[in-house]
Amino acid sequence: MKHFVGLVVTGALLAGCYTMEPARGITPETGTAVAFDISDVGRVALGGSMGPEIARIEGRLLSKDAEGDYEVAVTGVTLLRGGQQVWMGEHVTIKPTYISTTYLKKYSTGRTVALSAIGVAAVVAIASVAIIGSGDIEQQKPDTGGGVLRRLPLPHKLPPRGLRLNFPPTAF
């Protein structure tokens, strides 16, 4: 149980919470997680290779060339009507004219603290239930109703073995 609690707390602290925040003029660095809202021009240009209803592309920035084109290892695509597609890091080149907004993945201290607090509270609650549940609680005896057991008579006697009963065919 101690190992489980340690793993949960460590996992919550290491995972942390991230948010996608607008870049606001900051150029993303190679290797960072990015997301791009795609403009109408981008939907038309990328429609043949990625589908016509792309709203956002998420992935890891592989490079940015001198012309400003981004090469991205795509991890997911959000569609205009709310659906999502998971990608496995396929490389896509995205021109600046295809992008309406650029987002950077940022570590969120507030969300991480909140998630960690919830995780610790859950672990404490589970541990306390396990500790209380394993205590020596007096076993309750089943209620027998205090009645007396009596043998009830059978409604009729069974026919002797080997006796055949013949019923007319219309009886059934």
pLDDT of 5-30, one tens digit each?
555 555 555 556 777 888 888 888 89
Report the alpha-carbon distance of residue 22 to residue 102 in Å, rounded.
Answer: 6
Q: What is the pLDDT of residues 145-160, one digit of tens each?
A: 666 666 666 666 665 5
pTM strictly above 0.75: no
Q: CB pairs under 8 A, 24+ apart, for 4-12?
A: 5/123, 5/127, 8/119, 8/122, 8/123, 9/116, 9/119, 9/120, 9/123, 12/115, 12/116, 12/119, 12/120
Domains of the chain: 1-17+108-129 (no CATH), 18-106 (2.30.30.100)
- Give the residue ranges of DSSP H helices in 22-146: 40-50, 109-133
